[in-house]
Structures are given as C-alpha cells and as structure tokens.
Amino acid sequence: MNIKKINLKKENGATGLDIATGALVFILFTTVILTLYVQIYKQSALIKIHQDAMTYVIKICEDIDLKEYGEIEDLNDYKNSIISQIGLPEDRYTLSLSQEKYIDTYPDAKDLVKKIKISLVYNFAGQDKEIIVNKIKVKE
C-alpha cells in the first residue's frame, strides 16, 4: 500500500495576524471593562455624596422641628450653630438658609407661619449640585 503524505500547511505556531487579532481583542475588552468600572465608581461616589448631603438636610429639618417658632429669627446665628452642631464640613458643602413669613405677603394676618428654605450645595466632578428643601414652621 502506497500512502502519500499531503502537507497542506505547516502549523508551526501563531502567525503575526493571529497575534495582532488577539492583542486587538484584548485591548478592546480591557478598555470596555475599565470604562464601565470608572463609570460605576463615579456613580457610586455621587450617590454617597448625595446621601451624605441628604442626611445633613434631614438633620437640619429635624432641628428646626425641635426649635420654638421664635427661636429661629436670626438665620445667620442659627446657620452657624447648626453647622457646628451637625458637623457639616464647610469645605465640601455650602449651606444657605432663607425664610419667608406669611405676614410678609399678607400684612393683616397674624405671625403664625413661616417657610424656611434650606439649600445645600456641593461640588462633584466640577459640577455644582444643589438640594433645596422648604420647611414650614408653625407657631404653636
């Protein structure tokens, strides 16, 4: 029996095209994975900072509820005391308070209701984010 050996192509290892294709696929998938990782990290950091800001706003609202109606007249003094009381880091957050009394709009009415606007500004990735909460305080 006469057996002929047919040699179609030598398989002596990876060719340059195989290596280039493998490197390209590796770079593409690595880039996609790193981009997703960075985006997930940014979102989680933003959520954490926003959560901290909301915690401070809630503490301020709770403190306003505990105060008497007449105790919160000078907002600058109240702002300084609440910043030190709740430990608000002033290098990361900017707090501003304003109030509007019902008698400012209706002078004939009694001084029973005022609206306190709480604004907390923080910076994330070069953008200013702001949380605004309006709190109603009623004289009891």
The rounded average pLDDT for each run of 10 residues, N- to C-terminus, in the chain (140 residues) is: 67 75 94 97 94 94 88 86 89 91 78 90 91 89
Burial (CB count within 10 angstroms: exposed 0-12, middle 13-18, buried 19+), residue 43: exposed
pLDDT at residue 139 in the model: 83
pLDDT at residue 62 in the model: 93
Burial (CB count within 10 angstroms: exposed 0-12, middle 13-18, buried 19+), residue 61: middle
Distance set, CA 23 to CA 17, 18, 26, 37, 44 (Å): 10, 9, 5, 21, 31
pTM value? 0.75
pLDDT in tens, 115-125: 999 999 999 98
